Amino acid sequence: MRSWLLGLAIGLALADSSIVTLALPEILSQFDVGVATVAWVLTSFNLVLALLAVPAAYVARRRPRRTFVSGAIVFAASSLACGLAPSFEVLVVARSFQAAGAAAVVVAALGLLSETTGNEVRAARYWVAAGVLGAAFGPSAGGVLTETLGWESIFLVQVPLALVPLVALRGLSARPLRAPAERPHLTANTALLLLSGGLVAALFLLVLLLVSGWGMSPAAAGLVVTVMPLAAIAAARLSPRAIGVGMRTASGVILVAGGLASLAFLPRAGWAWTIAPQLLVGAGIGLALAALTERAVAGRAEQVVHGGWTLAARHAGVVLGLLLLAPVLTAALDRNEDEALRAGVAEVLDSRIPAIEKLRLAQDVLEQVDSAEGNGELPDVGAAFEDRPSSEEYRDLLSGLQDQLQRAVTNAFSGPFLLAAALALAALVPVALARGEPL
């Protein structure tokens, strides 16, 4: 039971790296900020977590209980501040404190798990599984909460949940470790950094494509992306123990990169086309992320410090991915918007509606485009047809316009998905180059 509660704390803390993805459009709209600015809700959390994970681990190795309690309280208090934030600046500052709390909770939990499970290797596996599941289920949970209760609920719900695991500490005597720490596992941590950079596309870009690109509701998109964590669980449980860490890593990296490349080649817009790529990415996460983290942490002295290093590597990878992929996506969306506009004008000019209506309708559609551009959203071309006849000609034209828009949006995500696939695949390089530190 104690291990479960500690697992909840780890999963909850790490879910926050991706949980707000589906809430970003609402946050953008409420605080009236730009697309590049709103991304700081994600970036600040991952950056602070990457920076503080190792210092927090050095503190936690000496005082695991106190670090865990302090981290949980800071996490709960800053979650409350996020949910009640009166301005965007307050939200970003609160997210940074939330990340500081998360860093303390996650690394201290690794030390405490060694006590509750009675075995360091088992503790490391438990810690890895809770962290991977938390990060992977984050977008789904965030999507459902955003749609049902609003984006603030994502943070408010976490306040009591962050404090519940403190019950696990009652009667638990954690043993402070004093042994000198081995140097971090460079190969595994570098591979983790690159793989996590690529996974940004699966955890963030995919949900953006589903909601902002294809118009799915956050809750529905949240359900669609549960395929990934489920595939991760299945792959981790079904992979034979006889497979070595190196082979699990290589197979997993290829699955993640292949899944991301598949997302770059979607033949149509529609959530069903994302299922097979998600299965690949999820299976890859279950194999590679778990194998690499275990390799970097399990049985190494001191385990808590190495937990801090892997946490830092993973979240530095997320920041790297966000910094690399966001500008590529923004540029591609701008370029494809121009192409979509041209294709849309061709649809209107070649349609069978009356000639004079073509000009007026084109103006109405362009007004929708301008208005959406101002809000950082995709245009709702259907709104331009609301007061027009529902004849076959208009229906065909609307369907043609929507098709062009979906083609443009889906195509704009292709480049970032391919770049993410390359980043994930690059994780094989440190693995292949490692001589003294074989996996």
Partner 1 sequence: MRRATPLYAAIAAVAAVVVPYVALGGASYEPTAAADPCVAREWRDPGGVQAVLEQVVLSAVDGAACELGVTREEFVLAMRDEESLDAFAAQHRLSRADAERAVEDALARAIDDAEDGGALSGFAASVLRRAVVALPPWLVLEALESVRGLLP
Footprint on this chain of partner 1 (rule: CB under 8 A)? 239-240, 242-244, 247-248, 250-252, 254-255, 257-259, 261-262, 264-268, 273, 276-277, 280, 283-284, 336, 339-343, 345-346, 349, 352, 354-356, 358-359, 362-363, 366, 404, 407-408, 410-411
d(CA 368, CA 168) in angstroms, rounded, equals 54
The residue type of 295 is R
Return the CA Rg of the chain: 23
Nearer to partner 1, 34 or 240 (CB): 240
Nearer to partner 1, 323 or 362 (CB): 362
Nearer to partner 1, 113 or 428 (CB): 428
Q: How far is the CB of 346 from partner 1 (least distance, A)?
A: 5
Nearer to partner 1, 23 or 260 (CB): 260
Nearer to partner 1, 244 or 382 (CB): 244
Q: How far is the CB of 417 from partner 1 (least distance, A)?
A: 11
d(CA 21, CA 225) in angstroms, rounded, equals 12
Identify the residue whose tokens are 């996650």.
Answer: 106
DSSP string covering 371-400, please?
A: HHHHHTS---GGGGGTTS--SHHHHHHHHH
d(CA 294, CA 76) in angstroms, rounded, equals 28
Q: How far is the CB of 268 from partner 1 (least distance, A)?
A: 7
Q: How far is the CB of 339 from partner 1 (least distance, A)?
A: 4
Longest dimension (CA), the chain: 82
Q: Residue 203 burial (CB < 10 Å; 0-12/13-18/19+)? A: buried
Judge contact between 94 and 85, C-beta under 8 A: yes
Judge contact between 169 and 65, C-beta under 8 A: yes
Task: Quote the DSSP letter at residue 270.
Answer: S
Q: How far is the CB of 437 from partner 1 (least distance, A)?
A: 20
Q: How far is the CB of 242 from partner 1 (least distance, A)?
A: 7
d(CA 284, CA 200) in angstroms, rounded, equals 14
Q: How far is the CB of 336 from partner 1 (least distance, A)?
A: 7
Residue among 361, 421, 350 at smallest CA distance from 385: 361
d(CA 72, CA 100) in angstroms, rounded, equals 10
**What value, to the nearest 5°, has the Cα angle with vertex 385 and ends 383 and 386?**
70
Q: How far is the CB of 279 from partner 1 (least distance, A)?
A: 8
